[in-house]
């Protein structure tokens, strides 16, 4: 990572909320809700599959932001000082995500999971009954998701708190009330910084481990178990590393977006920050593909019928085209586009390729679920699925916008580790 | 727009030292670094000679055992049907794994600008090269008729016979030889400025030796410019190799449909395990090296703590892989898969499995405690546990899986013979032999990089 120095003064900056953007976000959410209900009345299976794909995708991005924030905190990263708050802002979607998770647990217990019906007659599925049963599924999901979301929100709360003291008290707006609430029991700037630093340092590893475990459970329950005979030991790892990568790509898109809108961001989110962010987006492009290949190759080579079925479904018609799109969007385009230093340093180029990555990850999530639940006569792709996704995107962006408008969009306090001149590494 | 004043001061020398970016206060000048590091290359003491004698004896045991096997045939090993891979392949994978941390520490941490690597990377790189040299012997030993080993290498021949390129064993030949080549070049390149420093202080035959291998280095701006470019390009080239080598080694197993082998997590799990064992071996070697050669000012507690954290991270990944494998073996519902893992835990080789889980899963959990991470003696003990555990991990994967495949009538047991044990023990001696020679012939701490973190020498006025 390139050398970075944190300035001695960091401005407190809030995102301005404009009317047209609010309208646009409202339209997106409305379109998503209408599309979901339209699908629910015409093809309920399509509606719920689309809902789960989008919940998985946006929750993964949000948790990816939390994981990036925690991991960079653990390794005492200095390069990301102006964009720490952007990683944290992705977590703002989690309370909404938790509410949206409830219908999945309540409604989908009847016939969504193929193993419910197979449990009656399939001896292999019957051997998994201790894990594949609705009461245990609901329990582990509720407990796991509540624990993970709680830890992520707690981590962000600790990161926010020392910044809020500098903003002063009082004010009647909703933002002021939030700040007031979050700074209850204020102990003074220095004490608050020390306390947050030490608590975040203790909490970050717990958050990362919980993220790994819960994402693994979510991947098994909401994607892998949809083909109950199929299993892959790497599936959980592939799933949570994609979340991490998505968190990085979403941060890149946000960072460049804010840079174009605000002079303060433009000044602080400079070329070295974008370059390092670009390096990480590129590195995880390679790493995601490595994990894909590590899973694909033994399955292809092993030639076991039950194991190849999962791949064969996705590689042949009618899904082959979408699988190819995943490889193109998740590997070919970002790898070719971000190779070399220049594209990573160019804000627009970095944002474009990070957007391609995010699009690729959406198609990837789609391909984890739709082929497994496909029945004869079902459409391979319906416009309603991305339209429901537009609704989720509206909620996701609304949450982030609220967060960055309510709290300082650049983290003002920084951990008490200052950048040192890295003489020996300056080659 | 409001602004907030922050209490942010320039880091003190003590703080930077604490973080591993500066050596101990006893080291003040470039000549101090030369003095401290180059004194290691002076006449060895009796302790070194005793160790060297033991290593030489072990090398004798290694070659005697091997030649005995060549003379009598592979039948003197315990290999049989169904366990056709035993201690030799276990030890091969173990040493390839050990070789991982050198490139990780020298290349990846260089690219990530982690300052603590400066003191440790030279020894880690040397360890990498010697570990691959050791690992490379085992396929030759394992094939039995070593004079046919060249069949693995693809070369044009009059009979148009080629090795099977679809075999992961052939991929291994490419992966390991590429890794060895790049690691050796990277290691040698990094030593050139230090060899010149050794040359400038040496006399007689040693001076000629260092003069020859330092390639006439003078330390001009131009030389440093080219050196720096070459170093960073090699680091970038070596980085993907850290992932590729052990992934390919893992596919020796994962491509087969043997229960316990055929699993998709093997590639990243083997890479994490390799780094885990490699860093543990660096700790095992660095602790006595620090003590015997008086390098306490360079290999500080902070460096060991950083390595302990690396061990903790990779050990946690390995533990995740163990738990995932056990859970999915049960989840599979497949009797062979479930049986294979039940056999690991409670079958004939239960002791090997529980040794592995204890050494790699439980013991490293102590690294969560800062006091343990900062205790060099505790780290030394834990690193030995990890080394033992990682050898047993490969033994468990290879032997228990082969001994308990699909059909009960084809199950069988394996017991390593005395010849195999001789070769196993001898391989540690062979590795130690080269490492001990390294400590006497090449500067074990990177002199040039240590100088870079010191203030540059300034001309002082007399009396100031």
Q: Do A418 and B449 touch (CB under 8 A)?
A: no
- pLDDT beyond 50 at B2: no
Point out the residue among A166, A299, A427 whose CB comes nearest to the CB of B231.
Answer: A427
Domain membership flag for residue B273:
yes
CB contact under 8 A, B452 and A216: no
Mean pLDDT along residues B280-291:
93
- CB proximity B306 to A under 8 Å: no
Residues B398, B253 contacting (CB under 8 angstroms): yes
In chain A, residues with a C-beta closer than 8 Å to the C-beta of B12 are none
Tell me the residues of chain A between 233 and 252 that have a Cβ less than 8 Å away from chain B: 233-237
Residues A268-322: tens digit of each pLDDT: 899 999 999 999 999 999 999 999 999 999 999 999 999 999 999 999 989 999 9
Cβ-nearest to A233 among B240, B265, B450: B265
pLDDT, tens digit, 9 for 90 and up, residues A211-220: 999 999 999 9
- Using CA atoms, how far apart are residues B86 and B78, in angstroms rounded to an integer? 8
Residues 17-46 of B with CB under 8 A from A: 19, 21
Query: Which structural domain, as residue segments, surrounds residue B274?
Result: 45-150+179-452
Helix (H, G, I), strand (E, B) or coil at B155: coil
- Which residues have a Cβ under 8 Å from the Cβ of A306 and sit 6 or more positions away? A229, A230
Please give the radius of gyration of chain B, using alpha carbons only, rounded to the nearest integer: 24
- What pLDDT is attached to residue A250? 98
CB nearest A234 (choices: B251, B255, B264): B264
In terms of CA atoms, which chain A residue is nearest residue B244? A290
Q: Share the mean pLDDT of chain A.
A: 91
Q: Chain A contact for B343, CB < 8 A? A: no
Q: Is A107 on the interface with B (CB under 8 A)?
A: no
* Angle between helix A347-369 and helix A271-302 axes, rounded to 10 deg: 30
End-to-end Cα separation, chain B, in angstroms? 49
Give the total number of structural domains in chain B: 1
* pLDDT surpassing 50 at residue B451: yes
Q: Where are the domains of chain A?
A: 19-265+383-411
The CATH number of the domain where B189 resides is what?
Answer: 1.20.1630.10
Query: Are B268 and A234 within 8 A, CB to CB?
Result: yes
Judged against a pLDDT cut of 90, whether residue B27 lies above it is answered with no
Q: If contacts are CB pairs under 8 Å, which of residues 111-140 in chain A contact chain B?
A: 123-128, 131
Pure H helices in B333-453: 335-346, 350-356, 370-373, 376-395, 401-403, 418-441, 447-452
Residue B240 has pLDDT above 90, yes or no: no
Residue of B3, B6, B445 best to disrupt the A interface, most CBs of A under 10 A: B6
> What's the token pair of residue B152?
């693995």
pLDDT value, residue B436: 95
Chain B segment 96-115 residues within 8 A of A by beta carbon are 110, 112-113, 115
Selected residues 409-428 of chain B with any CB under 8 Å from a CB in chain A = none
Would you say residue B14 lies in a domain?
no
Note the residue count of chain B.
464
Instruction: Locate the chain A residue with the closest alpha carbon to B11.
Output: A418
Q: Cis link prior to A412 (omega < 30° from 0)?
A: no
CB of B80 less than 8 A from some CB of A: no
Interface test with B, best of A202, A423, A426 (most B CBs within 10 A): A423
The whole-number pLDDT of residue B452 equals 75
Q: What is the pTM of this model?
A: 0.92
Decide if pLDDT at B416 tops 80.
Answer: yes
Within-domain flag for B9: no
What was the pLDDT predicted at B9?
45
In a domain, B229, yes or no: yes
* A82 contact residues in B (CB cutoff 8 A): none
CB A384 within 8 A of CB A37: no
Name the average pLDDT for chain B. Answer: 89
User: Which pLDDT score, from 0 to 100, does residue B10 have?
Assistant: 46
Say if the Cβ atoms of B6 and A166 lie within 8 Å: no
Percentage of residues in chain A having pLDDT higher than 70: 94
Give pLDDT, residue A211.
Answer: 98
pLDDT of A205 higher than 80: yes
Do residues A210 and A148 touch, judged by C-beta distance below 8 A? Answer: yes
Report the C-alpha gap between B129 and B126 in whole angstroms: 5
- Reduce the DSSP state of residue A9 to 3 states and report it: strand
Residues of chain A with Cβ-Cβ distance to B321 below 8 Å are 233
Instruction: Say what the pLDDT of residue A29 is.
Output: 97
pLDDT digits (tens, 9 = 90+) for B177-209: 999 999 999 999 999 999 998 898 888 898 999
Structure confidence at residue A412 (pLDDT):
87
Of B8, B113, B324, the CB nearest to A6: B8
| A129 pLDDT above the threshold of 50 | yes
Angle formed by the axes of helices B301-332 and B376-395, to 10°?
30
Q: Does B239 touch chain A (CB under 8 A)?
A: no
Of A1, A303, A424, the CB nearest to B452: A424
* Whether A294 and B266 lie within 8 Å, measured CB to CB: yes
Is A420 close to B321, i.e. CB distance below 8 A?
A: no
**Does the interface ipTM go beyond 0.85?**
yes
Which residues are registered as beta bridge partners of B3?
A11
Q: Which residues pair with B4 in a beta bridge?
A: A10
B223: pLDDT strictly greater than 50: yes
Closest Cα in chain B, distance from residue A132 (Å): 9
Whether residue B332 and residue A231 make contact (CB cut-off 8 A), yes or no, is yes
List of chain B residues whose C-beta atoms are within 8 Å of the C-beta of residue A412: 4, 6
Nearest Cα to Cα of residue A36 among A48, A28, A53, A24: A48
Residue in B115, B268, B321 closest to A424 by CB: B115
Instruction: Assess whether pLDDT exceeds 50 at residue A136.
Output: yes
Residue A4's pLDDT is 63
Q: How far is B142 from chain A (nearest CA, A)?
A: 24
Q: CA-to-CA distance for A157 and B43, rounded, in angstroms?
A: 60
Is residue B99, in this structure, part of any structural domain at all? yes
| Residue range B339-390, pLDDT digits in tens | 999 999 999 999 999 999 999 999 999 999 999 999 999 999 999 999 999 9
Alpha-carbon distance A113 to A369, whole Å? 11
Question: Alpha-carbon distance A387 to A366, whole Å?
Answer: 13
- Going from the C-alpha of A143 to that of each of A52, A107, A139, A213, B112, the distances in angstroms are 19, 18, 6, 12, 37
Flag whether B31 is in a domain.
no
Span B151-182, pLDDT tens digits? 888 887 777 788 888 888 889 889 999 999 99
- In this predicted structure, the answer to whether residue A424 has a pLDDT above a threshold of 60 is no
Nearest Cα to A426, choosing from B23, B107, B110? B110
Q: What is the DSSP letter of A269?
A: S
Give the gap in angstroms from C-alpha A166 to the nearest C-alpha of chain B. Answer: 7
């Amino acid at each position: 990572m390139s050398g970075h120095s944190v300035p001695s003064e960091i401005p407190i900056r809030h995102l301005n909320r404009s009317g047209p953007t609010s309208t646009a976000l409202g339209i997106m959410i409305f379109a998503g809700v209408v599309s979901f209900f339209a699908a629910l009345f015409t093809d309920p299976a399509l509606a719920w599959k689309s809902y789960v794909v989008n919940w998985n995708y946006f929750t993964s991005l949000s948790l990816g932001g939390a994981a990036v924030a925690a991991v960079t905190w653990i390794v005492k990263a200095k390069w990301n000082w102006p964009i720490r708050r952007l990683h944290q802002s992705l977590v703002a979607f989690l309370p909404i995500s938790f509410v949206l998770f409830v219908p999945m647990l309540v409604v989908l217990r009847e016939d969504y999971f193929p193993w419910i019906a197979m449990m009656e007659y399939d001896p292999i599925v019957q051997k998994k009954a201790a894990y594949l049963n609705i009461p245990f599924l609901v329990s582990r999901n509720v407990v796991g998701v509540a624990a993970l979301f709680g830890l992520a929100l707690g981590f962000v709360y600790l990161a926010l708190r020392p910044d809020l003291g500098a903003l002063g008290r009082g004010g009647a707006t909703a933002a002021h009330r939030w700040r007031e609430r979050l700074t209850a029991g204020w102990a003074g700037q220095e004490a608050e910084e020390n306390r947050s630093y030490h608590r975040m340092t203790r909490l970050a590893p717990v958050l990362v481990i919980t993220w790994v475990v819960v994402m693994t459970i979510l991947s098994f329950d909401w994607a892998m178990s949809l083909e109950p005979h199929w299993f892959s030991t790497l599936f959980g790892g592939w799933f949570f590393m994609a979340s991490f990568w998505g968190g990085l790509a979403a941060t890149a898109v946000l960072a460049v977006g804010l840079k174009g809108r605000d002079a303060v961001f433009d000044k602080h989110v400079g070329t070295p920050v974008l370059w390092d962010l670009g390096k990480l987006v590129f590195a995880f492009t390679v790493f995601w593909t490595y994990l894909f290949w590590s899973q694909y190759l033994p399955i292809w080579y092993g030639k076991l019928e039950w194991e190849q079925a999962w791949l064969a479904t996705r590689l042949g018609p009618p899904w082959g085209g979408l699988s190819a799109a995943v490889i193109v969007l998740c590997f070919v385009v970002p790898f070719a586009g971000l190779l070399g230093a220049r594209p990573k340093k160019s804000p627009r180029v970095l944002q474009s390729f990070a957007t391609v990555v995010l699009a690729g990850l959406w198609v990837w999530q789609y391909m984890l679920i739709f082929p497994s639940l496909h029945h004869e006569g079902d459409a391979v792709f319906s416009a309603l699925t991305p339209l429901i996704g537009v609704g989720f995107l509206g909620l996701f962006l609304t949450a982030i916008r609220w967060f960055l408008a309510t709290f300082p969009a650049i983290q003002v306090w920084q951990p008490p580790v200052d950048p040192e001149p890295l003489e020996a590494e300056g080659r | 727009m409001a602004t907030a004043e922050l209490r942010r001061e320039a880091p003190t020398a003590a703080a930077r030292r604490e973080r591993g970016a500066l050596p101990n206060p006893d080291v003040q000048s470039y000549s101090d670094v030369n003095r401290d590091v180059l004194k290691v290359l002076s006449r060895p003491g009796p302790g070194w000679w005793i160790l060297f004698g033991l290593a030489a004896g072990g090398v004798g045991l290694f070659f005697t055992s091997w030649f005995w096997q060549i003379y009598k045939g592979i039948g003197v090993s315990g290999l049989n049907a169904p366990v056709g891979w035993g201690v030799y392949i276990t030890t091969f994978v173990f040493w390839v794994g050990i070789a991982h941390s050198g490139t990780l520490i020298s290349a990846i941490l260089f690219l990530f600008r982690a300052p603590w690597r400066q003191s440790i990377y030279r020894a880690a790189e040397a360890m990498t090269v010697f570990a691959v040299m050791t690992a490379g012997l085992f396929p030759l030993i394992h094939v039995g008729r070593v004079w046919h080993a060249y069949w693995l290498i693809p070369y044009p021949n009059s009979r148009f016979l080629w090795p099977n390129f679809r075999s992961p064993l052939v991929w291994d030949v490419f992966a390991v030889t590429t890794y060895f080549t790049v690691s050796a070049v990277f290691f040698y390149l990094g030593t050139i400025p230090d060899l010149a420093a050794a040359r400038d202080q040496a006399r007689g035959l040693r001076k000629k030796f260092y003069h020859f291998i330092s390639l006439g280095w003078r330390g001009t701006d131009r030389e440093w410019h080219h050196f720096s470019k070459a170093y960073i390009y090699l680091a970038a080239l070596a980085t993907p190799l850290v992932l590729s080598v052990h992934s390919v080694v893992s596919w020796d197993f994962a491509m087969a449909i043997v229960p316990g082998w055929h699993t998709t997590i093997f590639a990243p799990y083997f890479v994490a395990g390799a780094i885990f064992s490699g860093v543990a071996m660096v700790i095992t070697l660095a602790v006595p090296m620090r003590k015997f050669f008086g390098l306490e000012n360079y290999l500080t507690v902070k460096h060991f703590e950083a390595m302990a954290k690396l061990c903790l991270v990779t050990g946690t990944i390995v533990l995740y892989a163990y738990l995932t494998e056990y859970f999915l073996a049960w989840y599979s519902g497949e009797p062979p898969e479930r049986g294979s893992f039940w056999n690991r835990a409670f079958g004939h080789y239960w002791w090997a499995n529980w040794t592995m889980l204890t050494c790699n899963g439980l013991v490293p959990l102590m690294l969560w405690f800062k006091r343990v991470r900062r205790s060099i003696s505790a780290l030394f003990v834990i690193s030995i546990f990890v080394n033992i555990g990682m050898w047993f991990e490969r033994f468990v994967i290879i032997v228990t899986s082969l001994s308990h495949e699909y059909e009960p009538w084809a199950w069988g047991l394996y017991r390593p013979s005395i010849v195999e044990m001789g070769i196993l023990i001898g391989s540690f001696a062979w590795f130690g032999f080269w490492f001990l020679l390294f400590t006497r012939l090449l500067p074990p701490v990177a002199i040039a990089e240590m100088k870079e973190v010191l203030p540059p020498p300034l001309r002082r006025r007399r009396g100031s």
